[in-house]
Amino acid sequence: MQERNQRVRFEQLILPHLDAAYNLARWLTHNDQDAQDMVQESCLRAFRFFQGFRGGDSRTWLLTIVRNTCYTWLQQQRANEFTVPFQEELHDVECDTENPETLHLRHIDQQKLRTALETLPVEFREAIILRELEELPYREISVITHVPLGTVMSRLARGRKWLQRYLAAHMNEEE
């Protein structure tokens, strides 16, 4: 009986955030099948630790688990490749006032925008996804990504600069 109540409460609190969980996992893993696996694994983890969930925002709680699960998976994926770990300084963007190409972004092609986001380094990508698509406040993003508020702000700033540069550079391709 207790088990059943527990499960029903879990389903009521967690399942409404399945889209948010899948969206984040999909943007972090780049493909549907892995994203589904990540969400399923995250939900099972969440269920296992559900007794430890002391109220609060259940979406933030689930997204934190999804993000951790995806990062573990990403590290395993990266272990098989030879990728240079991302360093924010190396990828930093020049001052944006001097770049005239950033000035005309009124009509952004959806496919280009999607590709730009896919290419964006994961630390910036997750911040942009959580901010623009989930519309989460900085405080929640800071909880989910385990970084201070100031870092959330600077990651959003750098991520946006990066996207602008990318879009400006690819503006006239295939047109």
Which residues of the chain form contacts with another protein (CB under 8 A)?
Answer: 3, 6-7, 10-11, 15, 18-19, 21-23, 26-27, 32, 35-36, 39-40, 43-44, 47-48, 96-97, 102-103, 105-106, 108, 110, 113-114, 117, 128, 131-133, 137-138, 153, 156-157, 160, 163-164, 167
Q: Which two tokens stand for residue 83?
A: 């990728």
Residue 160 token pair = 């946006």
Residue-wise DSSP of 121-152? -HHHHHHHIIIIIS---HHHHHHHHT--HHHH
Q: To the nearest whole angstrom, how small is the minimum distance from the Cβ of residue 79 to another protein?
A: 26
C-beta closer to another protein: residue 54 or 106: 106
**Residue 81 or 173: which CB sits closer to another protein?**
173
**Distance of closest approach, residue 68 Cβ to another protein, in angstroms:** 17
Residue 31 tokens read as 């493909």
Q: How far is the CB of 77 from another protein (least distance, A)?
A: 19
Nearest CB to another protein, comparing residues 32 and 57: 32
Helix (H) or strand (E) holding 161: helix 149-169
- Between residues 21 and 144, which has the closer beta carbon with respect to another protein? 21
Taking the complex as a whole, how short is the minimal distance between the CB of residue 104 and another protein, in angstroms? 9
User: Quick one: 51 or 81, whose CB is closer to another protein?
Assistant: 51
State whether residue 33 is helix, strand or coil: helix
Question: Furthest-apart CA pair in the chain: how many Å?
Answer: 66
How far is residue 60's CA from residue 156's CA, in Å, rounded to a whole number? 18
3-state secondary structure of 157: helix
Taking each helix axis as running N to C, give the angle between helix 58-79 and helix 138-145, from 0 to 180 degrees, rounded to the nearest 10.
40
